[in-house]
Amino acid sequence: MKQLPPSQRRVSLVAWRGEPAAATRLIPEETAIALTYGRVTQAVMMATPADLEDFAIGFSLTEGIVGAASEIEEITQVVDENGIELRMEVAGARMDALLRRRRFLTGATGCGLCGMESLAEAARSVPRVSSGIAFAAPTLVTLPAALGARQLLNQATHAVHAAGFWSEGEGLLLVREDVGRHNALDKLAGAIACRDLDAGVGVLVLTSRVSVEMVQKAAMLGVPLVIAVSAPTSLALRTAEKAGITLVGVARQDGFEVFTHPSRIGLEVAADVG
């Protein structure tokens, strides 16, 4: 069996800083990853070939294919010249349900909703997060920088996204990186599930913009608060409101903006942000 490709490669280039000069740079690897269940392809995503078992589990959870990591009975990584296949075997009832709702998804990097069979599926309902936990604003403002400090692949390549999980008293417990923002979140979801962590007491920290599918995945995890460096889309905002998720964006060293459910941060606001 072929070995997994490295997550990064060093390449030669010509740099221009007033004059040309030979140089090298580390760049992230990007490869096709097929997620299959019972040898039936469910999705093909372009991703960084690292933390692939986390990716398989997290994708299965956030897409609602399984309800718990334990329902995945086996994961096999198969490498060939075209990419990597993550072969999963799931419990019989789950496999039957999957075949009934089967969809094919060929995703470009960062593509989260390509190839769905219906508009209704794109706007799927998600569980409501009911966690009553509260967070301190001075702590939240530090989280994007803390995530950046743990992005080892991005520090080497300056070309990947990250998703991190933080909880009170434990700090930034997990960080996963990928060329695709959705992939980074799925890898994180798998890592949370494998470690049996309670997502309902923590914060999801993102380096990317917050589109609707990122909120949907957060809701499937049960995360009560999402903080990101960018602003959300309007659909992401509406979805977070319905899902009971506190959505924080435009996070900088000097502050952030709270778009939904500000009560978890104990802020007093005069305007209706819902």
Q: 120 falls in which pLDDT band (50, 70, 90)?
A: low
**Residue positions annotated with a catalytic role:** 111
Amino acid 57: pLDDT:
97
Domains of the chain and any CATH numbers: 31-122 (3.10.20.10), 137-265 (3.40.140.10)
What pLDDT digit, counting tens, does each position of 252-272 carry? 988 999 999 999 996 654 444
Dihedral (C-alpha) 139, 141, 146, 151: value to the nearest 10 degrees? 140
Q: What is the pTM of this model?
A: 0.88
- CA dihedral sign, ordered 179, 54, 4, 25: positive
User: Distance (Å, rounded) from C-alpha 229 to C-alpha 249?
Assistant: 6
What pLDDT digit, counting tens, does each position of 165-217 carry? 999 989 999 999 999 999 999 999 999 999 999 999 999 999 998 999 999 99
Taking all residues of the chain, what is their mean pLDDT, rounded to a whole number?
88
